[in-house]
Amino acid sequence: MNQFIGSRALPDLVYHRPGTMDDLLGLVKGIEGEYRVVAGCTDFIPAIRGGKWRFADGINVVDIRGVKALSGIREEKGEIVMGAATRLSDILVSPVIREKAPVLADAVSQMASPQVRNTATVGGNLCMASPAADTAPPLLVLDAKVAWRTADGEETTPLNKFFLGPGATVLPPRSVLTEIRFPAPGPDEAARRTRMGQRTAFVCSIISVAVWLRGGPEKIEAARIAMGAVAPTPILITAAESVLIGKKPNEATLAEAAKTAASNIAPIDDLRATADYRKSLAETLTRRLLAACVGDLA
């Protein structure tokens, strides 16, 4: 096959597309040599072309998109369950997400481009474990859990414990991420998110922030704050929760919580922004989001 001029060729792949979960798990269990589990491939292909990943010819690529059970969004026993291979564009138009977790749809609407969202998956976004993964902060504040399967069984872990570092997760070898689930938020809960980037479309976030509150205008009963691109992984910032819980959500409380959150992150200077700028944004954006959530609860 003639390559385009200046293009880094993909290696010769051994492509697998199992059609059922059992076939998928059996394949991954028995596969010999190097392999990668893929779905949309919107990170996989640029990672090879850009030289971030190098594979020898003959690497096995296991495409999970043939397994129907891994796609789709449903509500089940008070939980919202998303298949790992659910496309970002399916999240955007899902009536369940739009009604129960608009905070997630809001985050997805600013990810990449419409073309990429028509291919990229939520599980892929989490498994790539970018510190700036844009689905992570809203899912963290929604108290999401992720489930994976091997040929021998299933395991579930809170998303908060899933990321280990840039590009690294707790997913064991020969496992496949299957589901992301979170409790369907009730009427006394509110969640908001925002992010800062060089422009709206198709940029890596300078910072992304999500907050979640439960309670009413007189008292906050529970709170969660999560951020992306301020640490080696997307993080839940628990230090600020105690500032909020049990308090009346007035301006001073929200400001103190935002300040606490911003002092518990460790951003870096990089080509997108300085650490100082990120800290400043973290405080301001958190304060605004908290105020917006309090407005939603009123």
Partner 1 sequence: MKITVHYTINSKACDLEVDAGETLLEALRNRLKLTSVHRSCEEGECGACTVLLNGEPVNSCLMLAAAADGADILTTEGLMRGDQRHPIMDAFVDLHGMQCGFCTPGLLMTGYSLVRKANGGDLDEATIRQSIEGNLCRCTGYMNIVKAIQEAKRRKDAGDWW
Stretch that binds partner 1, among 4-12, 100-108, 136-144, 268-276 (CB under 8 A): 4-12
User: Minimum Å distance from CB 24 to partner 1?
Assistant: 15
Alpha helices (H) in the chain, listed in sequence order: 21-30, 44-49, 88-93, 95-100, 102-109, 114-117, 122-127, 136-141, 241-244, 251-263, 275-297
Q: Give CA–CA dist 246/210, Å, rounded.
A: 20
Closest separation in Å from C-beta 17 to partner 1: 7
What residue type is 171 in one-letter code? Answer: L
Q: Applying CB under 8 A, which of residues 30, 33, 50, 78 lies at the interface with partner 1?
A: 50
Check: CB of residue 234 under 8 Å from CB of residue 272: no
Residues 104-123 that bind partner 1 (CB under 8 A): 112-116, 118-119
Amino acid identity, position 187: P
Beta carbons of 262 and 235 less than 8 angstroms apart: no
Assess 4 for contact with partner 1 (CB under 8 A): yes
Find the binding residues for partner 1 in span 169-208 (CB under 8 A). Answer: 200-202
With binding defined as CB under 8 A, does residue 245 bind partner 1? Answer: no
Which residues within the stretch 58-77 sit at the binding site for partner 1 (CB under 8 A)? 61, 63, 65
d(CA 40, CA 240): 36
Query: CB under 8 A: which stretch of 8-16, 208-216, 222-230, 288-296 binds partner 1?
Result: 8-16
Nearest to 254 by CA among 246, 265, 244: 244
10 binds partner 1 (CB under 8 A): yes
* Residue whose token pair is 């392999």: 35
CA atoms within 13 A on the CB side of 216: 2
17 is a contact residue toward partner 1 (CB under 8 A): yes
List residues binding partner 1 (CB under 8 A): 1-4, 7, 9-15, 17, 40-42, 45-46, 49-50, 61, 63, 65, 89, 112-116, 118-119, 200-202
